[in-house]
């Protein structure tokens, strides 16, 4: 049985973690995620929604086989997981996560790869790794620090505190907290909206934020025009600029543009 599935309907791709009740992440799920990324990047999809079946987003990694594995084997496994998670993070389109229930460990590290995180009102987040004596091996602590600051990231990682969605929203880790019953519909509505937006510009913004995360404002400034100027050659920008100029000349409101993602 698959542990993760994907589907594509028009410009929106959906990835579903499907290993309830805990939706723990294992080798099979990672390989299925990699295959989903491949398929989505080959398709005409222009946004991705990631969600989970059941009551919980994910408890994190499936640790059952870890005690028998050597350090070398574990490192190879985690490096593979990291490479797939990073591919997911760098997809050239908006990625929206809808998080319900418990979102811990590797599940939180996956959600943090999304550009926008919607959380159910009763969702809780946490790093359980310190209870095992390990660290957030898929980059959780510093991705939380990027959003919430170093001191908060340190506290949450050192205590394995279960952090409610409202607190995560207050510190900028979660974008929006939604009533549980409305979580999926609101996340999908947002994903549908951005799937019809200027996809190439979204990808450029993601690249600029990545440059900033690596090297700060100076690095993003250095990368700006290599990333931004090719947009002026796209069909979307040519149509958008002409539409805006025509409206200004005619003294009319600028019409909403039907972006094609090209």
**106 in Cβ contact with 60 (< 8 Å):** yes
**206 in Cβ contact with 115 (< 8 Å):** yes
- What's the length of the chain? 262
- Other beta carbons within 10 angstroms of residue 235's beta carbon come to 12
Q: Token pair for residue 21?
A: 């009740």
Residue 87 has what pLDDT? 97
DSSP 8-class letter at 69: S
Residue 23 has what pLDDT? 98
Residue 89 has what pLDDT? 98
Residue 145 has what pLDDT? 97
Which backbone phi and psi does 140 adopt, to 5 degrees? -65, -50
**What's the pTM value of the predicted model, to 2 decimals?**
0.94
Query: pLDDT truncated to tens, each residue of the chain (262 aa)?
Result: 999 999 999 999 999 999 999 999 999 999 999 999 999 999 999 999 999 999 999 999 999 999 999 999 999 999 999 999 999 999 999 999 999 999 999 999 999 999 999 999 999 999 999 999 999 999 999 999 999 999 999 999 999 999 999 999 999 999 999 999 999 999 999 999 999 999 999 999 999 999 999 999 999 999 999 999 999 999 999 988 888 888 888 888 888 888 998 8
Q: How far apart are the C-alpha atoms of 199 and 91, rounded to whole Å?
A: 11
Q: How far apart are the C-alpha atoms of 103 and 115, rounded to whole Å?
A: 16
Peptide bond into 185 cis (omega under 30): no
Interval 120-174: pLDDT, tens: 999 999 999 999 999 999 999 999 999 999 999 999 999 999 999 999 999 999 9
Give the CA radius of gyration of the chain. Answer: 20
**Three-state SS for 71?**
helix
Residue 17 has what pLDDT? 98
Q: How far apart are the C-alpha atoms of 58 and 176, rounded to whole Å?
A: 19
By C-alpha distance, which of 91, 131, 81, 133 is closest to 115?
91
């Amino acid at each position: 049985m698959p542990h993760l599935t994907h589907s594509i309907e028009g410009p929106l791709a959906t990835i579903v973690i499907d290993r309830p009740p805990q939706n723990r992440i294992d080798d099979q799920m990672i390989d299925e995620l990699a295959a989903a990324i491949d398929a989505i990047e080959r398709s005409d999809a222009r946004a991705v929604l990631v969600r989970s079946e059941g009551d919980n987003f994910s408890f994190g990694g499936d640790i059952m086989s870890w005690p028998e594995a050597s350090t070398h084997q574990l490192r190879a496994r985690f490096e593979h997981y990291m490479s797939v998670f990073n591919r997911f993070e760098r997809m050239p389109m908006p990625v929206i996560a809808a998080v319900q229930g418990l979102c811990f460990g590797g599940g939180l590290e996956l959600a943090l790869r999304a550009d926008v995180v919607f959380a159910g009102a009763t969702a809780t987040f946490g790093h359980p790794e310190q209870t095992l004596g390990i660290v957030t091996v898929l980059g959780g602590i510093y991705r939380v620090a990027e959003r919430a600051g170093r001191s908060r990231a340190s506290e949450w990682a050192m205590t394995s505190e279960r952090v409610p969605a409202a607190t995560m929203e207050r510190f900028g880790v979660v974008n929006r907290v939604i009533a549980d019953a409305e979580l999926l519909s609101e996340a999908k509505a947002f994903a549908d909206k951005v799937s019809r937006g200027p996809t190439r510009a979204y990808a450029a913004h993601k690249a600029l934020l990545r440059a900033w995360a690596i090297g700060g404002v100076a690095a993003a400034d250095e990368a700006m025009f290599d990333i931004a100027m090719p947009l002026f050659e796209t069909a979307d920008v040519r149509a958008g600029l002409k539409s805006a100029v025509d409206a200004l000349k005619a003294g009319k409101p600028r019409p909403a543009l039907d972006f094609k993602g090209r």
